[in-house]
């Protein structure tokens, strides 16, 4: 793929082979978040110039420590619902900004809706003005509580527009509609539907299942499993998700395309696995199932395999072990700081 960047001096061509983005200039929203920070670091290490945006409502600047002083990285503390001005040329806008954990988007329902609507419109305007590619980080939540299994990109979903989770589900569905509308107007766009990514840098207060179980198991607390734990998730390690997003950006394929793991496991099995990895003898405590909680979640990733040449490489056991090692390191740092 060839990305053309326009500068005040003269246009330059950047040749991108697969996930190689050396020389490209890329804006990333949600840059200080869990996934956004990993994406920014990968892009900078791969030779791209990155402008990161984050309002720090759920992200943390410490997530960007590895590249904070890098000459190819610029950070802007800004909410994407505000008009965004970027000087010079731009090759791509990767729009990840949004609360993503249920605890965060349920606590910030209007902010979540604004990020998916106004924020996406703003970033689409930037992409259009710069003749850049807009890559939208959408979500498996657009499928709601799916009646199709595994979920293909052609499935239209089973979503409640008024349930408590709708603030996130419908924000992302609207964001996809924005990307599709701008594509029909001539802007290059790509849509990634991301399934249950996990890994280092998930906040200790993150309400998603992996950090919740790790926090509880390491503290010797009961692991709280919603319902009877038979609902399933298909987890994808963050490095694999970042590779897929970068490949999508370089592919020329508009999507939508599912990005996620294919090892479908029950939430109860995941709790037991994390207990084992942590060496915990804590009990399992069953709690009420949240409203509209998906019963089965597993992507059909055959499209990603064909169009992006991508499949996840990191096994669940390996990914959880890496995440646990990072989490324990953070706990040790926190304890040491209080001594």
- Give the count of beta carbons closer than 10 Å to the beta carbon of residue 336: 8
What was the pLDDT predicted at 338?
42
Annotated active-site residue 168? The verdict is yes
Hey, which bits of 268-332 come out as E strands?
A: 284-287
The residue extents of the domains of the chain are: 2-195+238-260+292-312
Q: Which of 329, 311, 219 is nearest to 274 (CA)?
A: 219
What was the pLDDT predicted at 107?
93
Joined together, the tokens standing for residue 339 give 């001594």
| Pairwise CA distance, residues 190 & 328, whole Å | 36
276-308 per-residue burial string, b: 16 or more CB within 10 A, e: under 16: ebbebebeeeeeeeeebebebbbbbbebbeebb
* Sign (positive or negative) of CA dihedral 151, 152, 158, 159: positive
Active-site option among 105, 143, 168, 182: 168
Q: Which residues contact 155 (CB under 8 A, 6 or more apart)?
A: 143, 146, 148
Query: Kind and range of the H or E element at 327?
Result: helix 316-338
* CATH number for the domain whose boundaries are 2-195+238-260+292-312: 3.40.50.720
Q: Which of 192, 246, 254 is nearest to 21 (CA)?
A: 246
| Pairwise CA distance, residues 299 & 329, whole Å | 32
* Whole-structure pTM value: 0.90
Tens-digit pLDDT string for the chain (339 aa) = 334 333 333 322 333 334 578 899 999 999 999 999 999 999 999 999 999 999 999 999 999 999 999 999 999 999 999 998 899 999 999 999 999 888 899 999 999 999 999 999 999 999 999 999 999 999 999 999 999 999 999 999 999 999 999 999 999 999 999 999 999 999 999 999 999 999 999 987 788 999 999 999 999 999 999 999 999 999 999 999 999 999 999 999 999 999 999 889 999 999 999 999 999 999 999 999 888 788 888 999 999 999 999 999 999 999 999 999 999 888 654 434 444
| Pairwise CA distance, residues 74 & 67, whole Å | 9
Residue with tokens 């610029």: 74
Question: DSSP readout, 166-235?
Answer: HHHHHHHHHHHHHHHHHHHTT--EEEEEE--EE-TT--TT--SHHHHHHHHHHTTPPEEEETTS--EEE-
- Burial label, 330 (beta-carbon count in 10 A; 0-12, 13-18, 19+): middle
């Amino acid at each position: 793929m060839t990305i053309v960047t326009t500068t005040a001096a003269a246009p330059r061509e950047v040749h991108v082979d697969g996930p190689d983005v050396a020389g490209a200039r890329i804006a990333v929203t949600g840059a200080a978040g869990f996934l956004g920070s990993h994406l920014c670091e990968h892009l900078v290490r791969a030779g791209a110039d990155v402008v990161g945006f984050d309002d720090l409502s759920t992200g943390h600047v410490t997530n960007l420590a590895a590249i904070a002083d890098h000459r190819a990285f610029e950070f802007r503390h800004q909410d994407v619902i505000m008009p965004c001005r970027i000087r010079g040329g731009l090759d791509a806008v990767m729009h990840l900004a949004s609360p993503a954990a249920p605890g965060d988007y349920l606590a910030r329902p209007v902010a979540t809706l604004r990020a998916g609507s106004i924020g996406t419109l703003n970033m689409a305007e930037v992409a259009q003005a710069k003749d850049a590619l807009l890559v939208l980080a959408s979500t498996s939540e657009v499928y709601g509580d799916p009646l199709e299994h595994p979920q293909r990109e052609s499935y239209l979903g089973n979503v409640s527009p008024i349930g408590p989770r709708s603030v996130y589900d419908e924000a992302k569905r609207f964001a996809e509609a924005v990307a599709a509308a701008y594509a029909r107007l001539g802007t290059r766009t790509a849509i990634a539907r991301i399934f249950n990514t996990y890994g280092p840098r998930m906040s200790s207060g993150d309400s998603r299942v992996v950090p919740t179980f790790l926090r509880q198991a390491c503290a010797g607390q009961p692991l709280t499993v919603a319902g009877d734990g038979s609902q399933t998730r298909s987890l994808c390690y963050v490095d694999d998700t970042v590779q897929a997003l970068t490949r999508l950006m370089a592919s020329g394929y508009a999507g939508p395309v599912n990005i996620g793991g294919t090892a479908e496991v029950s939430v109860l099995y995941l709790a037991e696995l994390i207990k084992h990895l942590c060496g915990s003898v804590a009990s399992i405590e069953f709690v009420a199932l949240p409203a509209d909680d998906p019963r089965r979640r597993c992507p059909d990733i055959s499209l990603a395999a064909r169009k992006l040449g991508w499949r996840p490489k990191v096994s669940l056991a390996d990914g959880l072990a890496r995440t646990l090692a990072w989490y324990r390191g953070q706990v040790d740092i926190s304890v040491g700081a209080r001594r």
